[in-house]
Amino acid sequence: MSKKLQLGRDAKIATSPDAAVLDAVPNPHKDTDYVARFTAPEFTSLCPVTGQPDFAHFVFDYCPGKSLLESKSLKLFLFSFRNHAAFHEDCTVMIGKRIVDAIKPKYLRVASFWYPRGGIPIDVFWQTGKLPKDVWLPDPGVPPYRGRG
């Protein structure tokens, strides 16, 4: 776990995802299986080919182990993608792997719903670990893209 949390102090947005830090905090209910959800409806990154902005709605569902993911550090980590050029699949899997490295959850599902550019929306799903028995995992809650009509 990070000794000096970004929470409660002035913390700058990292210049790249590699430079960003994800903070872990102790899980006060590590003896209980449950799902925690973060939603980031305004994620942005850059297309690695054209440099144009890409926009996505992310939903993170995880069953914590010994650690929780601190939300301010997640926000700053996601902000660090604003000038990062990568394909949708790369962003989604990279984010998931970084969360796993930071908190080692029992289970993590990352769902990313990318807004269309060029007429094709792309949805990317990545998960790891095993969902504990009898834990309810809700639907991500983001409807498929239907266009304007």
Q: Is residue 91 a part of any domain in this protein? A: yes
Active site residues: 47, 54
Could you tell me the residue range of the domain that residue 72 belongs to? 34-125
Q: Which burial class, exposed, middle or buried, applies to 69 when counting CB atoms under 10 A from its CB (0-12, 13-18, 19+)?
A: buried
The predicted-structure confidence for 118-145, as pLDDT tens digits, reads as follows: 888 899 999 999 999 999 999 999 987 7
- Nearest Cα neighbor of 20 from 62, 64, 81 is 81
* Contact in structure between 107 and 126 (CB atoms under 8 Å): no
pLDDT tens, residue by residue, 68-113 = 999 999 999 999 999 999 999 999 999 999 999 999 999 999 999 9
**Number of domains composing the chain:** 1
Strands 53-63, 120-129: pairing is unpaired
CATH number, domain of 79, equals: 3.30.1130.10
